[in-house]
C-alpha cells in the first residue's frame, strides 16, 4: 500500500498550504453560491432587478458564479505553483517553506 | 448530404479509437493510459467526458422549454468543479491508483470497502449512462429517420466496440477532439444566433433543407354565453366536442375539438389530393391509378366511381365546386386576462384504441409531423428592441428576453383520453420575459410551494457536491504525470466547461427566438436550432452531440469496468487475477453495462436528459462524496463507517428519486400520487450519509486497529 506514497513529489509544507488554501477558497465560493440559492428561495422577484449591461440579477449572478469559479481556479493554481516553486528553491532552507505556509 | 457528414464523422472517430487503441494493450494502458497524457490534452478530455449529451442537449432543451431553471444545471455543473479542484483533486491524486475505491483503499485495506465502492461506482455509472443513451436515440431519430430505439442500440454497439477493443487511451483522444470541436461549433452557433437577431415570425428550415415560412398558431375570440354553432357560423370550422383536463394548479382546462374544412389540391399525376398546411403538403386522398384528375374535373364523382380510392381519417364534401376535407383539430379555451376569452390552436398526437396514430387529424407519417413551436410573441419597451432581424449583441439579447413586457410562447403538453383514444395536446403557454429569465420555471419556488423550494435547494446541493464524486471524472486525475499536471488539467477543464456553459444560455434562448422547438422532446432544441441555419450545420452539430454521447458513454463504461475488475473481482472476491484476466473481466463488464444502459435508454425516452443527469449527481453526492471528504479530512473515519455511509447514501437517494413526483409522471402516473413529495433527494440523503459515517465510525473506533493490522 505504501508504494503509492512514492508518488508524492513535494514535502508536507506545500501540501498543507495547498490544502488549507483550497478549503478556504472552496468555502468562499460556497458562500457566494449559497447566496444565489438563498435569494431565489427568499424572494425570487428580486432576481428581476436590473443590473449593469441590462442583465437581470439572475443572469448576472449566474454568469458571475461561472466567472468567479474561473478566477478562483486561476488564483489557486498560481498560488500552488508559487508555493511549490518556493519550496523547491528553499529545499536547503526549511524556514522559507515555513514562511510560505503562514502566508 | 447531412447523413454523409454525420456518418463520416462517426467513422473517423472509430478509426481514431482503433489507431490509438493499438498502443494500449497492458492493464495499465487500458485503465489510465500509462500516465502519459499531457495535462492540456487531459484537461480538454476531462471537458469532453464532462460535457455529456446532458450538458449539450438537456440544458439547452430545458432552457428552451423552462427558461432559467435549465441554466441552473449549467451553474451547478460548473460550480461542482470548485469542490473537485480545491478540495478533492490533490489529495486524491496523492492517494489514488485507479479508482475511487483505491483511494479509499490507500487508507484502509478492507474488502467491504471495495464492495461498497465498486457497487456505488456501478450504480452511478448506470444512472449517468441512461440519459446519454436517451440523448443518442433522440439525435438519430430525425437525421437518419430511424426509430428512437435504433439510435440507442447503435450508440450502445459503437461504444461497446470502442471500449472493449481499445480502452482508455482511445477515449482520452476521442474526447479531446470532440470537446474541442463541440466548443468551437457551439461558438459558431451562438454567433449565428446573435447575428440573425430577434423577430416575432422567424422562418425556419426542415430536415430536408427546404425553407419553411413561420407559422403563427391561430386564435379565435370567444364571447361568453354564445353557442359554439353561432360563434363558428360563416367560418370554415364546425364544432365537434369539448372536454376538460386537470392542470398542475388543480383548475380544469377546457379543450374544444373542431373540424376544419380545408380545400384539397391535386398532384400533377392525379394520384394524390393534398391539403396544404403549415408549409407541409399532406396526402389526404390517394388513387395509385392516377384517376383523381387535376383541373376542372369533378373530384367527388371520381371518388364515388373508384372504390380503390382511400380517404384517411377525414370526411370529404363538395363546397363551391371544390372538394374539401374536414380535418379535426384541438383548441384550448383560455381567458386572455383582458376580459375576453380565446380559443388557442393546439397540435395533437392521438393513439386510437385500434392501433392507428394520427397527428393533427391526419395519419402520422414522415411528411405529417408536428409543426415547430415557440417564439417571442412581443418585445418589451424597456429593451428598446424594434422587432427587426439583424445583429444583436449578446448582452442585449439577454436583456431583451429579461424584459417583463417581453412575451414568449413555449410549448406545453397535456394528456387526456377522448373517445377511448390517448390524446397528447401541445399548446403554447404565454410566459413573461422576467419570469422566463429567473429561477422558478421548473421548480415551484414562489408562493407557498415548500416542496418546490426544497427540490430546488436539493438540486443545487447535488450539483455542487456531485461533480467531485463522479467516478468517471475522478479516474482522469490519474492519467497525468503528477499533481501539478492534474491541477493544470482541471483548470483547463474549468475554463473550457465555463465557456461552454455560458453558451448554453444563448443556444436555449436562440431555440425559442427562432421558433424551432419540437413540442414532443425538449432534448432536440440545440440541434434543431442548428437546422434553422442549414442542414450542414445541423449535421455537424448532431455528429458532435453524437460524439459527445460516445465519449461520455465510453468514459463511464471504462469506469464501471474498472470498478468491477479491480474492486469487486480482484479485491472483494480476493481473486488474484493476472493483468490479462483483469482486462478480460473489464471487457465483459463493459459489454454487460452497455447492454443494460441500452435497455434503460429505450425505456426513458422523452425525458429531459439534463434532469436525468442531475439525478446521477444526486446519487454521487449522497454515496461517494461523504466517503471521499471524510477519508481525506477526518482521521477517525473507519472502514465500516465508510461502507455504511455509501450504502445509506445509495439506498436513500435512489428511494427518494424512484418514489418522487417526477418519476411518477415518467411512469405515466399522477404526480399527486407520488409516495415522496420530494423529487430531488440530496438535501436529505447527503446529510444522512454523512451522519451515518460519523456515527458508525465513532461506534466502531475500536475496530480501527484491527483493520490497520490487515495492512
ipTM (interface predicted TM): 0.84
Mind listing the pLDDT tens digit for each residue in B268-319?
A: 777 788 888 887 788 887 777 766 665 545 565 666 666 656 666 677 777 7
Residues of chain B in contact with residue A77, where contact means CB-CB under 8 angstroms, are: 487-488, 491
Predicted confidence (pLDDT) at residue A2 exceeds the cutoff of 50 = no
More confident residue, B433 or A14: B433
Of A5, A22, A62, the CB nearest to B71: A62
Is B75's CB within 8 Å of A47's CB? no
Q: B-chain residues within 8 Å CB-CB of A64? A: none
Residue B422, beta-bridge partner list: B351, B417
Helices (H) and strands (E) in chain B, counts: 26, 18
State the virtual CA torsion across B186, B190, B192, B197 in degrees, nearest 10: 160
Task: Decide if A74 touches B, using CB distance below 8 A.
Answer: yes
The answer to whether B616 touches B128, Cβ cutoff 8 Å, is: yes
- Cα Rg, chain B, nearest whole Å: 28
d(CA B594, CA B557): 7
Chain A residues near residue B501 by CB distance under 8 angstroms: 66
Three state DSSP letters for B159-222:
HHHHHHHCCHHHHHHHHHHHHHHHHHHHHHHHHHHHHHCCCCCCCEECCCCCEECCCCCCEEEE
Nearest CA in chain A to B86: A22
pLDDT at B688: 94
Contacts of B484 in chain A (CB under 8 A): 80-81, 84
Tell me the average confidence (pLDDT) per consecutive run of 10 residues in chain B, 711 residues long.
Answer: 79 69 51 63 81 81 92 90 82 66 73 84 87 86 79 82 62 75 91 90 78 85 80 85 76 87 81 81 77 58 62 73 84 80 91 87 83 89 79 89 90 88 90 88 74 88 88 66 76 89 93 90 89 87 81 77 75 69 79 88 84 89 90 85 93 91 80 82 93 92 50 37
What's the rounded Cα separation, in Å, for the pair B469 and B84? 8
**CATH node for B38-198+484-709:** 1.20.1730.10
How does pLDDT run across B187-211, given as a tens digit for each residue? 999 999 999 888 888 887 777 777 8
Would you kindly state where each structural domain of chain B is located, as residue ranges? 38-198+484-709, 211-436
Residue B86 to residue A26, Cβ atoms within 8 A? yes
| Alpha-carbon gap, residue B278 to B347, rounded angstroms | 12
Which residue of B47, B90, B402 is the best one to mutate when testing the A interface, meaning the one whose CB has the most A CBs within 10 A?
Answer: B402
Give the dihedral sign, CA B509/B515/B521/B527. negative
Closest to B653 in 3D by CA, of B104, B127, B133, B58? B127
The sign of the torsion formed by the CA atoms of B197, B202, B203, B208 equals positive
Count of alpha carbons within 13 angstroms of residue A95, beta-carbon side: 1
Identify the CA nearest to B553 among candidates B162, B159, B169, B172: B159
Determine the distance in angstroms separating the CA of A86 from the nearest CA of chain B, rounded to an integer: 14
> What pLDDT, on a 0 to 100 scale, did the predictor assign at position B511?
94
List the Cα angle B689/B693/B698 in 5-degree steps.
150
Distance between CA B585 and CA A8 in Å, rounded?
A: 31
B706 CB-near residues (< 8 Å, 6+ apart):
none
- Strands of the sheet with B375-378, listed across from one edge: B362-363, B357-359, B347-351, B421-432, B407-418, B375-378
Cross-chain Cβ contact A76/B86 below 8 Å: yes
Sheet holding B310-311, edge to edge: B265-266, B272-277, B280-286, B310-311
Residue A97 confidence (pLDDT) above 60: no
Q: Under an 8 A CB cutoff, do B487 and A19 touch?
A: no
Amino acid at each position: 500500500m505504501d508504494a503509492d506514497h512514492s508518488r508524492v513529489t513535494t514535502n508536507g509544507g506545500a501540501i498543507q498550504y495547498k490544502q488549507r488554501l483550497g478549503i478556504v477558497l472552496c468555502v468562499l465560493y460556497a458562500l457566494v453560491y449559497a447566496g444565489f440559492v438563498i435569494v431565489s428561495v427568499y424572494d425570487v422577484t428580486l432576481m428581476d432587478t436590473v443590473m449593469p449591461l441590462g442583465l437581470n440579477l439572475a443572469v448576472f449572478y449566474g454568469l458571475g458564479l461561472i466567472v468567479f469559479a474561473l478566477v478562483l481556479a486561476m488564483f489557486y493554481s498560481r498560488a500552488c505553483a508559487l508555493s511549490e516553486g518556493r519550496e523547491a528553491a528553499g529545499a536547503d532552507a526549511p524556514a522559507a517553506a515555513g514562511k510560505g505556509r503562514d502566508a | 448530404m447531412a447523413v454523409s457528414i454525420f456518418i463520416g464523422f462517426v467513422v473517423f472517430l472509430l478509426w481514431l479509437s482503433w489507431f490509438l487503441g493499438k498502443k494500449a494493450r497492458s492493464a495499465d494502458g487500458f485503465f489510465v493510459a500509462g500516465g502519459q497524457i499531457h495535462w492540456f490534452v487531459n484537461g480538454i478530455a476531462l471537458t469532453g467526458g464532462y460535457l455529456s449529451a446532458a450538458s449539450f442537449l438537456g440544458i439547452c432543451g430545458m432552457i428552451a422549454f423552462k427558461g432559467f431553471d435549465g441554466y441552473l444545471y449549467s451553474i451547478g455543473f460548473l460550480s461542482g468543479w470548485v469542490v473537485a479542484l480545491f478540495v478533492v483533486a490533490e489529495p486524491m491524486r496523492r492517494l489514488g491508483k485507479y479508482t475511487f475505491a483505491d483511494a479509499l483503499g490507500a487508507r484502509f485495506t478492507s474488502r467491504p470497502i471495495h464492495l461498497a465502492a465498486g457497487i456505488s461506482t456501478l450504480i452511478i455509472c448506470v444512472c449517468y449512462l441512461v440519459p446519454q443513451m436517451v440523448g443518442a436515440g433522440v439525435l438519430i431519430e430525425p437525421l437518419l429517420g430511424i426509430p428512437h430505439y435504433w439510435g440507442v442500440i447503435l450508440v450502445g454497439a459503437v461504444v461497446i466496440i470502442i471500449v472493449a477493443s481499445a480502452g482508455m487511451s482511445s477515449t482520452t483522444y476521442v474526447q479531446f477532439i470532440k470537446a474541442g470541436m463541440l466548443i468551437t461549433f457551439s461558438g459558431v452557433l451562438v454567433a449565428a444566433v446573435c447575428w440573425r437577431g430577434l423577430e416575432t415570425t422567424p422562418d425556419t428550415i426542415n430536415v430536408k433543407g427546404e425553407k419553411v415560412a413561420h407559422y403563427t398558431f391561430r386564435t379565435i375570440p370567444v364571447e361568453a354565453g354564445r353557442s359554439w354553432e353561432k360563434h363558428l357560423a360563416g367560418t370554415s370550422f364546425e364544432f365537434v366536442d369539448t372536454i376538460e383536463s386537470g392542470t398542475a394548479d388543480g383548475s380544469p382546462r377546457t379543450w374544444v375539438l373542431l373540424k376544419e374544412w380545408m380545400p384539397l389540391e391535386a398532384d400533377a399525376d392525379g394520384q394524390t389530393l393534398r391539403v396544404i398546411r403549415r408549409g407541409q403538403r399532406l396526402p389526404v386522398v390517394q388513387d395509385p391509378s392516377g384517376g383523381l384528375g387535376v383541373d376542372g374535373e369533378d373530384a367527388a364523382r371520381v371518388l364515388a366511381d373508384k372504390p380503390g380510392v382511400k380517404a384517411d381519417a377525414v370526411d370529404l364534401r363538395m363546397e363551391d365546386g371544390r372538394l374539401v376535407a374536414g380535418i379535426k383539430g384541438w383548441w384550448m379555451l383560455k381567458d386572455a386576462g383582458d376580459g375576453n376569452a380565446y380559443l388557442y390552436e393546439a397540435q395533437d398526437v392521438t393513439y386510437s384504441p385500434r392501433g392507428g396514430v394520427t397527428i393533427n387529424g391526419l395519419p402520422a407519417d414522415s411528411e405529417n409531423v408536428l409543426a415547430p413551436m415557440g417564439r417571442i410573441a412581443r418585445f418589451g419597451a424597456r429593451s428598446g428592441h424594434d422587432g427587426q432581424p439583424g445583429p444583436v449583441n449578446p448582452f442585449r439579447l439577454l436583456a431583451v428576453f429579461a424584459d417583463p413586457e417581453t412575451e414568449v410562447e413555449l410549448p406545453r403538453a397535456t394528456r387526456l383520453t377522448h373517445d377511448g383514444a390517448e390524446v397528447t395536446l401541445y399548446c403554447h403557454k404565454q410566459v413573461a420575459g422576467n419570469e422566463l429569465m429567473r429561477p422558478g420555471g421548473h421548480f415551484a419556488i414562489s408562493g407557498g410551494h415548500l416542496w418546490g423550494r426544497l427540490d430546488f435547494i436539493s438540486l443545487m446541493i447535488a450539483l455542487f457536491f456531485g461533480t467531485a464524486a463522479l467516478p468517471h471524472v475522478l479516474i482522469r486525475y490519474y492519467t497525468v504525470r503528477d499533481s501539478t499536471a492534474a491541477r493544470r488539467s482541471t483548470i483547463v477543464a474549468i475554463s473550457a466547461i465555463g465557456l461552454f456553459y455560458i453558451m448554453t444560455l444563448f443556444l436555449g434562448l436562440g431555440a425559442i427566438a427562432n421558433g424551432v422547438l419540437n413540442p414532443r422532446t425538449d432534448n432536440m432544441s440545440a440541434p434543431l436550432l442548428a437546422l434553422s441555419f442549414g442542414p450542414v450545420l445541423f449535421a455537424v452539430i448532431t455528429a458532435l452531440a453524437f460524439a459527445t454521447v460516445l465519449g461520455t458513454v465510453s468514459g463511464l463504461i471504462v469506469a464501471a469496468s474498472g470498478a468491477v475488475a479491480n474492486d469487486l473481482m480482484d479485491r472483494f472476491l480476493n481473486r488474484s487475477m493476472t493483468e490479462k484476466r483483469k482486462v478480460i473481466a473489464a471487457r465483459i463488464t463493459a459489454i454487460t453495462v452497455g447492454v443494460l444502459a441500452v435497455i434503460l435508454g429505450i425505456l426513458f425516452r422523452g425525458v429531459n436528459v439534463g434532469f436525468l443527469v442531475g439525478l446521477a449527481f444526486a446519487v454521487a453526492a449522497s454515496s461517494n462524496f461523504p466517503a471521499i471528504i471524510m477519508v481525506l479530512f477526518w482521521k477517525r473515519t473507519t472502514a465500516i463507517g465508510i461502507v455504511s455511509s455509501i450504502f445509506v447514501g445509495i439506498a436513500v437517494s435512489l428511494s427518494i428519486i424512484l418514489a418522487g413526483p417526477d418519476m411518477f409522471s415518467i411512469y405515466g402516473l399522477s404526480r399527486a400520487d407520488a409516495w415522496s413529495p420530494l423529487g430531488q433527494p440530496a438535501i436529505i440523503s447527503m446529510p444522512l450519509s454523512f451522519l451515518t459515517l460519523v456515527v458508525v465510525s465513532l461506534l466502531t473506533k475500536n475496530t480501527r486497529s484491527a483493520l490497520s493490522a490487515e495492512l
